[in-house]
A and B are shown apart, each in its own frame.
Chain A
């Protein structure tokens, strides 16, 4: 019985990490309508930045967020401006391959600049955990979970109550209508990409205390983030959070009770099944998905 509770808690904590990584992708995928295969590489860059800030200046990973987040916002902004904006009018396919190229580029630039070593930051809380009713809760993962929740709430309010947020939501629903309504779509794209990258960077920063950094660390996160975003439904922040938790719990139970080697296969299979039965996602409102499906 204890084991089930423990597996559930571990799954939820893992899911929190997945949700955190996916929030930024949902913003970018939902607003700019681009399958960003370089998403994981943005996680990777943020992790390296955090690592080097700690290495050279002894900065605590959590504190370094104050530097990493603005830097990555700028990175996302410029990425949209110089890489995505020029190819906006091309097909989805072309956009995918641009990001595939960028992902290849960033991975190997990281390899050239920082070598293939596996680097980690050691903090006092890296491996600390608390026990509640004999259930072990990892502290850095709990922090990531909390950050995911806070980010979701923040974004929810932002999207609901600010002008910019409303404009972004309008673009998610239908960007051509939004344009007709006088929303300067391209400018909002820049902002959305920057913001999305910033939330991704938050994920990267919070990963550093408990996971290593290396040039190909992002690959795993790219796919899982897509699964989470699609399952959660485009444009739905709460959906992303719930889908993240769902995938985390599925992985945890599947890994423990079926086979650790098949845990990823299980959630990929669920992903395909959900796409079959409910293409708008488990928790999505279903708005806008048909439109994305087209081109």
Chain B
């Protein structure tokens, strides 16, 4: 009976082996790996939508080297699923390259698989620094890193906010409240390190679990630390909870979010007018100066046409921009996915800032990181998330009411 069961298991496997990949010469397959179920489903799917729009547009315009682009989807619902799916996409579906992934930990596992097999991996949304510092030369990232986020935040605090308060940067007191998964921890670490370099004082660091149902203790600790500003790194639910309880328990300091939950439509839906004034450092959002981000409006229209609703965050835009860069690179290699060719094409690329829908320039470093990608500072103003800093990209002045 053991045999029967084993045979059944094997035939299941053979089914998997056999039932895949009806290969057509007219098609150009690329793996698209995102967490589309599980706890990160919302923004994982949002990210995928951006890449999908880029694919549809490119195909309408004739595809790459005359071939139609096809995404082979994978679901990186957990870290181990990410590893399995990378194996499956590369070995079973024979995709010559993978793009994705939104989540840093999923990307780390999946890109490790791809790198060990010498398959190209394009990261369009995950921000952990470590993704491009492992010494692999088969990984490219189009979006800014956690370090870029910290740089932007510190620049904003020292160059705009400190003068506003009439303080020197060295007199600024900053607290960090971060969710304690890899995302929050790595961003908070990178911020602490850079703040030290800039002479900004970190007065307290408060890690918490993102799935918690109460953050009053974090607020009490923040109240005790008396910061001028709170740097928050949150997912969706905890971002809402933090702001709600900060308001309720009368935390005076303004909150400066870091992508994630603070830029979601659901954030303003939950907080209403109390969201007004919440700052956020993030990928390019939709109310950004069109001169800085040409093609932004067009993307918004496409999104509505394709998915029949407004985007939930800027993640789709970042993935749209990133996927287009990937397609451009493959266009240049003439449809070849050979890492050497990709590398040459990628290194030759040089797009100045202000020419893409996100406003990011494109210039890959030796490690595969796009050094011209940068996050912007946004602020909730009357229910809309508008870009307020730096000046070229802003559509409004930032404001802080004390």
Let me know if chains A and B touch directly in the complex, using CB atoms closer than 8 Å. yes
A263's contact among B217, B237, B261, by CB below 8 Å, is which? B217
Q: Is the CB of A261 within 8 A of B217?
A: no
Q: How far is the CA of A111 from the CA of B38 in the complex (A)?
A: 9
Contact between chains at B266 and A119 (CB < 8 Å)? yes
A211 touching B248 in the complex, CB below 8 Å, given contacts A111-B41, A261-B209: no
Task: Indicate whether B206 reaches chain A with its CB closer than 8 angstroms.
Answer: yes
B90 located at the interface, meaning its Cβ lies under 8 Å from any Cβ of chain A in the complex: no
B42 surroundings in chain A (CB, below 8 A): 115-118, 214
**Contact partners of A99 in chain B: CB under 8 A:** none
Cα A129 to Cα B248 with chains together (Å): 6
A119 to B265, CA, bound (A): 10
Select one of B208, B221, B274 contacting A127, CB under 8 A: B274
Closest partner residue, chain B, to A6 (CB atom): B220
| Closest B residue by C-beta to A140 | B248
A89 to B185, CA, bound (A): 48
B37, CB-defined interface residue at 8 Å: yes
CB-defined A-B contacts under 8 Å, sample of 25: A3-B224, A7-B216, A10-B217, A10-B220, A17-B213, A111-B41, A116-B41, A117-B42, A117-B312, A118-B270, A120-B266, A120-B270, A122-B272, A126-B244, A127-B247, A127-B274, A129-B248, A212-B266, A217-B237, A220-B211, A220-B212, A255-B214, A259-B207, A260-B207, A261-B180
Known: A119-B269, A122-B270. A211 touches B241 (CB 8 A): yes
Find chain B residues with CB under 8 A from A176 CB. Answer: none
A219 within 8 A of B: yes
- Near A by CB (< 8 A), chain B positions 192-247 give 206-209, 211-218, 220-221, 224, 236-237, 240-241, 244, 247
Contact check, B269 vs A211: say whether CB atoms are below 8 A apart.
no
Q: Is the CB of B237 within 8 A of A260?
A: no
Q: If A127-B247, A216-B39, A259-B207 touch, does A251 touch B217 (CB 8 Å cutoff)?
A: yes
Which of B208, B218, B240 has a CB less than 8 Å from the CB of A118?
B240
A220 to B236, CA, bound (A): 15
Given contacts A118-B237, A120-B269, contact A251 B180 (CB under 8 A): no
Q: How far, in angstroms, from A127 to B212 measured CA to CA in the complex?
A: 18
Q: A127-B247, A255-B208, A261-B208 are in contact. List 14 more A-B contacts (CB 8 A).
A: A6-B249, A7-B216, A14-B216, A108-B37, A118-B236, A118-B237, A212-B241, A212-B270, A214-B236, A252-B214, A255-B216, A256-B221, A260-B207, A260-B217
Q: Does A52 contact B (CB under 8 A)?
A: no
Determine if A174 is an interface residue (Cβ-Cβ < 8 Å): no
| B10 CB to nearest chain A CB (Å) | 26
Closest to A119 in B: B266
B181: min CB distance to chain A, Å = 11
Nearest CB in chain A: distance from B306 CB, A? 16
Inter-chain contact A122/B220, CB cutoff 8 Å:
no
Q: Are B216 and A252 in contact (CB under 8 A)?
A: yes
Within 8 A of B (CB), among A218-269: 219-221, 224, 251-252, 254-256, 259-261, 263-264
A143 at the interface (CB under 8 A from B): no
Q: Which residues of A contact B250 (CB under 8 A)?
A: 136
> Quick one: closest A residue to B240, CB to CB?
A212
| Distance in angstroms between the alpha carbons of A108 and B41 in the assembled complex | 11
A106 to B248, CA, bound (A): 33
4 smallest A-B Cβ distances: which pairs?
A255-B217, A116-B42, A120-B270, A118-B266
**Does A75 lie at the interface of the complex (its beta carbon under 8 Å from any beta carbon of B)?**
no
Check A3/B212 contact, CB under 8 A, given A111-B41, A119-B269, A122-B272: no
Whether A120 lies near B240 (C-beta < 8 A) is: yes
| Option from A111, A211, A216, A260 in Cβ contact (under 8 Å) with B213 | A211
> Main SS of the interface on chain B?
helix
Q: Which of B30-44 contact A (CB under 8 A)?
A: 37, 39, 41-42
CA distance A219 to B237 in the complex (A): 13
* Whole-angstrom distance between the Cβ of B179 and the nearest chain A Cβ: 9
Q: Which residues of B contact A138 (CB under 8 A)?
A: 248
Is B45 among interface residues, defined by CB-CB distance under 8 A?
yes
Task: Name B residues whose Cβ lies closer than 8 Å to a Cβ of A.
Answer: 37, 39, 41-42, 45, 180, 206-209, 211-218, 220-221, 224, 236-237, 240-241, 244, 247-250, 261, 264, 266, 269-272, 274, 312
CA distance A263 to B209 in the complex (A): 9
Assess whether A256 is in contact with B236, with CB atoms less than 8 Å apart.
no
Asked if A210 lies at the interface with its beta carbon under 8 angstroms from chain B, I say: yes
* CA gap between A115 and B45 in the complex, in Å: 10
> In whole Å, how far is B180's beta carbon from the nearest beta carbon of chain A?
5
Contacts of A263 in B (CB 8 A): 212, 217
Residue of B nearest to A111 (CB): B41
A-chain residues with CB within 8 Å of residue B209 when the two chains form the complex: 261, 264
* A residues less than 8 Å from B41 (CB atoms): 111, 116
A121-150 to B contact mask, C-beta < 8 Å, 1/0: 010001101000000101000000000000
Indicate which residue in A7, A14, A211 contacts B220 across the interface (CB closer than 8 Å). Answer: A7
Q: Which of A7, A111, A117, A264 has the most CB of B within 10 A?
A: A117
* Bound CA–CA A212/B243 (angstroms): 12
A264 touches B270 (CB 8 A): no
| Inter-chain contacts of B180 with A (CB < 8 A) | 261
B278 CB → nearest A CB, Å: 14
Expressed in whole angstroms, the Cα–Cα distance for A259 and B206 within the complex equals 8
Q: Which residues of A contact B312 (CB under 8 A)?
A: 117
> Could you tell me if A111 and B240 are in contact, using CB atoms closer than 8 angstroms?
no
Q: Would you call B266 and A3 a contact (CB within 8 A)?
A: no
- CB-defined contacts of A118 to chain B, threshold 8 Å: 42, 236-237, 240, 261, 264, 266, 270
Pair A220/B213 contact, Cβ less than 8 Å? yes
- Chain B residue at minimal CB-CB distance from A13: B216
What B residues does A214 contact at CB under 8 A?
42, 236-237
**Bound CA span A6–B271, Å:** 24
Across the interface, which residues of A come within 8 angstroms of B211, CB to CB? 216, 219-220
In the complex, what's the smallest C-beta–C-beta distance from A129 to chain B, in angstroms?
5
